[in-house]
Structure 1
Amino acid sequence: MNLDYALLDIGAEPQGFVDDRAIADSIGLTRRVRQLERVSDQPQLVSAEPWEGEQVVPIAVVHDDDRGVWRMWYSTYAMNVERRPDIGTHWAMHLAVSDDGLNWRRDDVNVLKADGLPSNNLCVDEQGEPIEGPVTVFDEPHDPDPTKRYKLINYRPNYYLSYSEDGVHWRRAQEDPVWSNGAGDGLEETHFFMRDPKLGKYRAYMRVWMRHQTMRTISLGESDDLLSWSGPKIIWTAHDYYGVGSQIYGMTVFYDGGLYWGLPWMFYGDEPLDPNLRQNMRYKLAWSEDGVAWHALKPEMDVLPMGDPKQFDAYMVFSPGQVVQLADKNVVYYSGTNNRHDGSTDGICGVGIATVRRGGFVSLEAGADEAHMITHRTLIRGDHLTINARTESDGYIDVELLDDRGQYLKGLRFDVADRFTGDDTQHKLAWNGQHDLTSLRGQNVMLRFKMRNAELFTYGVGGDAATINAPLGPRPISAGRCPKTPVIDGQLNDDCWLDFDHCGVADQFKQYEQNVNAEVQTRVLMTYDDTHLYMAVHCDEPQIEKLSGDVIDGELSERTLDNDMIEIRLSGPDQGTFFNQLMVTPAGQLSHCWFSVDEGGSKILDKIEWEAKTSKVPGHWIAEIGVPFKVLGVEPVKPGDTWQTNIIRHRHVDGDETTSWSCLFGSVHRNELSGALVFK
């Protein structure tokens, strides 16, 4: 079992199993790659009107909440313009509607008027002409300008942008193209545009020719506003493992389960030995962490199984429209045909629909024998954990949590885990009916699974956006310059400790093993001048009479670690894993250590070159500390400097108790869990 793998900081993204990065160890599990599943063997929409030509291509499907219906924009193409009465174009864009997203009817908008042309569902530009060329449509209902709710990019050649308020009547955003031929590695008519939900920008995956117009590749361009574009730059070419004569004709891309998924349209020319592949276009499956560097997944597999030659989508499938993402599944609306690319066969073309579970292309599968898996350390930024999983009727999944040292976490063991059965893409894990893990926020945990007759697709950290995105650890200590140097006497009656405008505060100390407020609290104030850092430590102590802190001739007792103590860790901006350890007991004992993870431990300094005084009063004890910057090995600070710091309290009046300003989650020497000290 490898527990030294890098920490997984997945935020709110699901963690899947397309590779082994999340798996520390497993036994009895099989990785399974799933295919798309057709909704029907029959097309959901086919060319049915004289003006629709031979080819039907879905370019956008959205649910219109205002109208309460699904809307599909689709393009049609006629090889012979004369077959399109009174339109006179090869391309045209149409609109269809549906109550369920499955059964479609043409939306009789009837805005294109021409002699001999019956009522129709054609969309038009500002001149009342059909929308021509390969097209992409975006529905953005939250655009502050309602006349720009719908956005359209079409290739004429060059790419032009248009806006619409109703999705039927379109007007150019500007006369000039937004993306011109000659840009980057070259523009082409075959494209796939998307709004990237992770980056918040638009991306275009474009076909680009190479080798004197004999080899198709995929390139990428990006834009923040659809008006200005970078690239495109070639990012992917078909590998030999796709077979002889393979070329990437285009690619459908969507973001799901923490990864970008690609459905490359793999085109085969006349080279393949298998005659069934010649002049075909098939979906393959690929994945990427950034949408730029792509990895083939099971390249020998067609992710949409090709059907019988008589089936409408037997020879070519492709989808320039964005994938529709529902709560439990991804829906691909695609154009399928049993025509070959070179036109050597004569068949039909229609709109097909295929689906895959959300996060569901890859799973870990357990059979009749119980299987086990433990994940690598995963940072908890939210307040609960989820799994995307399904079981057979006699199957189950149990989960327990371990800390980042592999130790069991109390109350989160198998014996109290709520067993999962059934099928759920967002199941909250619970133990004894409780799923709230707020106390673990900021901790690294490992999930241990045991499962039988079950599939696990992803696991993840849940919580609202405010919780997930909130900084881990405590609020930074903001220390200002003190107006007058304090007298280090343990009394805390100096002006600098009475004026909170310049004092940085560290309070709300946490328990040792979980991010929960300690029952007995500690409060620390910090300030500075040209030469020193000053600290005032106030320790609540309801059992003040039991305080320990032995002094032998002014030196540290051998039993120091058994004493009550405040430990202050300080690491300057250029000190890496090195930090100073300053320790003060209630009796006034002082200790100064240097600790470095890189150097493998600590060194106790023989000479104490800083001062501290302590005092006791009913209910609490106090330490007042002054440390020269030079003793800490740093230059005098200036406003804006930031250090790493943590303050740890060791309390022994009632057993052994450790608390800290920034939670240590049960591990003493964790400098990376420190908080920030900011000088203002």
Structure 2
Amino acid sequence: MLVAGLLPVGAAETLHNGIVLPSPWPPPRTAKQMTSGEPMPVPYLAQPPAVIPVDVGRQLFVDDFLIESTTLRRRFHRPEYHARSPVLRPEMIWEKSTLFAFAAPFSDGVWYEPKDSTFMMWYRSASVRTCLALSKDGLNWTRPALDLLGTNVVLKSNRDATTVWLDHDAANPAERFKLFEARTKKSPFHVALRTSPDGRQWSEELVVSGPSWDRTTFFWNPFRRVWVASVRGHDHTAPEPVHRLRNYFEGKTAAAALAWTQHTDQVARGNGLPNDLQPWVGADRLDPRHPDPRFNKLPPQLYNLDVFPYESLSVGLFTIWQGPDNETCKTLNLHKRNEVLAGFTRDGFHWDRANRTPFLPVSEDPKAWNAGNVQSVGGGCLVVGDRLYFYCSGRTMHPTDVGATGLATLRRDGFASLDAGATPAALTTRPVRFTGRHLFVNVAAAQGELRGEVLDSAGQVIAPFSQENCPPLKTDQTLAELKWRGAADLAKLAGQPVRLRFHLTNGSLYSFWVSPDANGSSRGYIAAGGPGFTNNVDTVGAAALTAARNLPASSSPQAK
């Protein structure tokens, strides 16, 4: 029987970037492939489209998908923890227990609500409650009184991981916020769906999933308009049992994304069924191991995978478990070492993870708020002017067991840059097609310069779009327009395959995009939103920079 909202097996799709999905979708994988220790192959990098449409979002250089040739050097970047971290600590009675104190998202979510210009954070308390904190600047958080007792508790349940998603496309305003709650009333775990018009008052459980494990999360894939479950799985068939990996399930509606019937253990044993849970991804041999010699022989495992859409692709926040096991942690009075690494996918399933440096690392200071167990949040990040805000949880055992919420910030589009030194270097894209008019870049070249040119299918410069006619950009801006003398814009090139070539000296190039608007809107997805944006798509361009500058002065994203 086909559950309403499920996708038919084998339906072929062409994505916004020209990638054609194979049939069947999702593509078959086995638990053995997930636990082989080998990185996941990425078909669209081996065989990219002949012409890549670039109308959706800023085009990031996190991989070679867009690049035909280059003499620039790729450099990956990670956020820096804000000097004010942690920005939320356990302070209230319900955030403390006799065993530990906790006030941090366990995925949950941090979102920007454009209706009242408010940052909203859902988090877990020590009493296993779901709580809500609010902020006008992303740094200073308050706990609204939401019940007769004056607490900020929005749900009382036997929860584990929870994902909150602000659904800007919800047809019913009462379902604008969606909450997926991994909980257990009796073994095994299941996930329950609730909805809310405002993120404060939540419905009863509307739908309950098939059997799962605790650390199960969800996300919306807007490129294919499907909800996806990132379901924690086990594999006890491996020579060394793997307790943490990911299975995949999707549906056209949030309810349909919970309609699997199999237990993850069945999938691991090779008993998977079509249109049910499918093996997805696990840790591999390139992931970091625990630096402590007592634990560095433990193979890393994938503790969690939070996913979010950013501009023209999806970003995965891979929480990599490095040990030790829970009993050893209890005996030695320490926390497991979980660190968050970043990965990228352009088809929503296959992950390119070229950089294995922790994106949100633990601190090597045992007294630091993030000495152990750093984990990501639902929604991924917020776009605050020129910066991306990544919230995360962290834990310490000094002086007692405390879990708190930290903030790390990164340049917008700053996951990776292509760099040039004093010797001029260049990048030529694969053939691309656009319908926009204005070419924008995110570039740091205050001590150098960036110029551009446009080539035809034969590799010849299209007049007047030559390097010589392009006034150099000598600037450090996340939104800057490249122009040419003799042409008002790129309108006459719209719809035809062209190559873009960038010439850079003493600088870093992060992204490019062709906008229909002079304000530089990208028409890409902006993760969990941010000041100045009206929904989950960038339709405002430079206006978002102005909105961020108008935040309270204390919110300036200075990092250490």
TM-score norm. by structure 2 comes to 0.70
Specify whether residues 281 and 435 from structure 1 end up closer, same or farther in structure 2 by C-alpha distance, changes over 3 A only: farther
Structure 1 CA distance for aligned equivalents of residues 144 and 500 of structure 2: 51
Specify whether residues 68 and 362 from structure 1 end up closer, same or farther in structure 2 by C-alpha distance, changes over 3 A only: closer
Question: Letter of the aligned partner of 2:62 in structure 1?
Answer: V
Structure 2 CA distance for aligned equivalents of residues 427 and 245 of structure 1: 45
Q: After TM superposition, give the deviation of residue 458 of structure 1 in Å.
A: 1.8
How far does the alpha carbon of each residue in 1:193-250 deviate from its partner, in whole angstroms, 9 at most, with x for none?
Answer: 2222212221221211111664310122222221122543221121112244200000
**1 or 2 for the larger relative contact order (CA 8 Å, sep ≥6)?**
2
Q: Is 1:143 aligned with 2:170?
A: yes
Corresponding residue number in structure 2 for 1:16: 60
Corresponding residue number in structure 1 for 2:467: 414
Specify whether residues 270 and 151 from structure 1 end up closer, same or farther in structure 2 by C-alpha distance, changes over 3 A only: closer
Query: Which of 342, 349, 355 matches 2:409?
Result: 355
Q: Is 1:224 aligned with 2:247?
A: no
Q: After TM superposition, give the deviation of residue 396 of structure 1 in Å.
A: 0.9
Corresponding residue number in structure 1 for 2:147: 110
Q: How does 1:285-324 map to 2 (within 5 A)?
A: 285-299=342-356, 301-307=357-363, 308-324=365-381
Structure 2 CA distance for aligned equivalents of residues 169 and 76 of structure 1: 18
Higher strand share: 1
How far does the alpha carbon of each residue in 1:17-49 deviate from its partner, in whole angstroms, 9 at most, with x for none?
Answer: 33334333333x211011122123631001111
Q: Is 1:437 aligned with 2:490?
A: yes
Question: Letter of the aligned partner of 1:110 in structure 2?
Answer: D
Corresponding residue number in structure 1 for 2:134: 97
Larger Rg: 1
CA RMSD of aligned residues (A): 2.9
How far does the alpha carbon of each residue in 1:462-511 deviate from its partner, in whole angstroms, 9 at most, with x for none?
Answer: 226xx999xxxxxxxxxxxxxxxxxxxxxxxxxxxxxxxxxxxxxxxxxx
Structure 1 CA distance for aligned equivalents of residues 254 and 67 of structure 2: 40
Q: Is 1:122 aligned with 2:153?
A: yes
Structure 1 CA distance for aligned equivalents of residues 478 and 218 of structure 2: 27
Structure 1 CA distance for aligned equivalents of residues 222 and 473 of structure 2: 30
Structure 2 CA distance for aligned equivalents of residues 51 and 337 of structure 1: 18
Q: How does 1:508-527 map to 2 (within 5 A)?
A: none
- Ranges of 4+ aligned residues in structure 1 off by more than 6 Å: 275-278
Q: How does 1:270-281 map to 2 (within 5 A)?
A: 270=324, 279-281=336-338
Q: Secondary structure at 1:428's aligned position in 2?
A: strand
Instruction: Note if contact 2:110-2:377 (Cα within 8 Å) is conserved in structure 1.
Output: no
Corresponding residue number in structure 2 for 1:338: 396
Q: Secondary structure at 1:12's aligned position in 2?
A: coil
Structure 2 CA distance for aligned equivalents of residues 310 and 267 of structure 1: 20
Q: After TM superposition, give the deviation of residue 459 of structure 1 in Å.
A: 2.0
Q: After TM superposition, give the deviation of residue 346 of structure 1 in Å.
A: 3.9
Structure 1 CA distance for aligned equivalents of residues 56 and 413 of structure 2: 14
Q: How does 1:438-587 map to 2 (within 5 A)?
A: 438-463=491-516
Corresponding residue number in structure 2 for 1:57: 104
Question: Letter of the aligned partner of 1:365 in structure 2?
Answer: D
Corresponding residue number in structure 2 for 1:180: 210
- Mark the runs of 5 or more structure 1 residues left unpaired by the alignment: 79-90, 114-118, 182-186, 470-680
Instruction: Note if contact 1:95-1:123 (Cα within 8 Å) is conserved in structure 2.
Output: yes
- Indicate the percent of aligned positions where both proteins have the same amino acid: 28
Specify whether residues 73 and 292 from structure 1 end up closer, same or farther in structure 2 by C-alpha distance, changes over 3 A only: same
Structure 1 CA distance for aligned equivalents of residues 366 and 455 of structure 2: 54
Corresponding residue number in structure 2 for 1:155: 182
Corresponding residue number in structure 2 for 1:487: none
Instruction: Note if contact 2:340-2:376 (Cα within 8 Å) is conserved in structure 1.
Output: no
Q: Secondary structure at 1:51's aligned position in 2?
A: helix
Structure 1 CA distance for aligned equivalents of residues 192 and 109 of structure 2: 17
Structure 1 CA distance for aligned equivalents of residues 85 and 284 of structure 2: 32
Instruction: Note if contact 1:123-1:130 (Cα within 8 Å) is conserved in structure 2.
Output: no
TM-score norm. by structure 1 comes to 0.58
Structure 1 CA distance for aligned equivalents of residues 171 and 412 of structure 2: 30
Q: Secondary structure at 1:285's aligned position in 2?
A: strand
Q: Secondary structure at 1:413's aligned position in 2?
A: coil
Instruction: Note if contact 1:287-1:297 (Cα within 8 Å) is conserved in structure 2.
Output: no
How far does the alpha carbon of each residue in 1:52-94 deviate from its partner, in whole angstroms, 9 at most, with x for none?
Answer: 132223222223333332221111134xxxxxxxxxxxx1011
Q: Is 1:36 aligned with 2:79?
A: yes
Specify whether residues 295 and 375 from structure 1 end up closer, same or farther in structure 2 by C-alpha distance, changes over 3 A only: closer
Instruction: Note if contact 1:92-1:133 (Cα within 8 Å) is conserved in structure 2.
Output: no
Specify whether residues 164 and 444 from structure 1 end up closer, same or farther in structure 2 by C-alpha distance, changes over 3 A only: closer
Structure 2 CA distance for aligned equivalents of residues 24 and 329 of structure 1: 29
Q: Would you say how many aligned residue pairs link Structure 1 and Structure 2?
A: 425
Structure 2 CA distance for aligned equivalents of residues 468 and 441 of structure 1: 16
Specify whether residues 92 and 399 from structure 1 end up closer, same or farther in structure 2 by C-alpha distance, changes over 3 A only: same
Instruction: Note if contact 2:338-2:362 (Cα within 8 Å) is conserved in structure 1.
Output: no
- Mark the runs of 5 or more structure 2 residues left unpaired by the alignment: 1-47, 185-189, 261-275, 290-297, 326-331, 524-560
Specify whether residues 304 and 173 from structure 1 end up closer, same or farther in structure 2 by C-alpha distance, changes over 3 A only: closer
Q: Secondary structure at 2:55's aligned position in 1?
A: coil
Q: After TM superposition, give the deviation of residue 192 of structure 1 in Å.
A: 2.4
Q: After TM superposition, give the deviation of residue 171 of structure 1 in Å.
A: 2.0
Instruction: Note if contact 1:323-1:330 (Cα within 8 Å) is conserved in structure 2.
Output: no
Structure 2 CA distance for aligned equivalents of residues 203 and 468 of structure 1: 25
Specify whether residues 73 and 421 from structure 1 end up closer, same or farther in structure 2 by C-alpha distance, changes over 3 A only: same
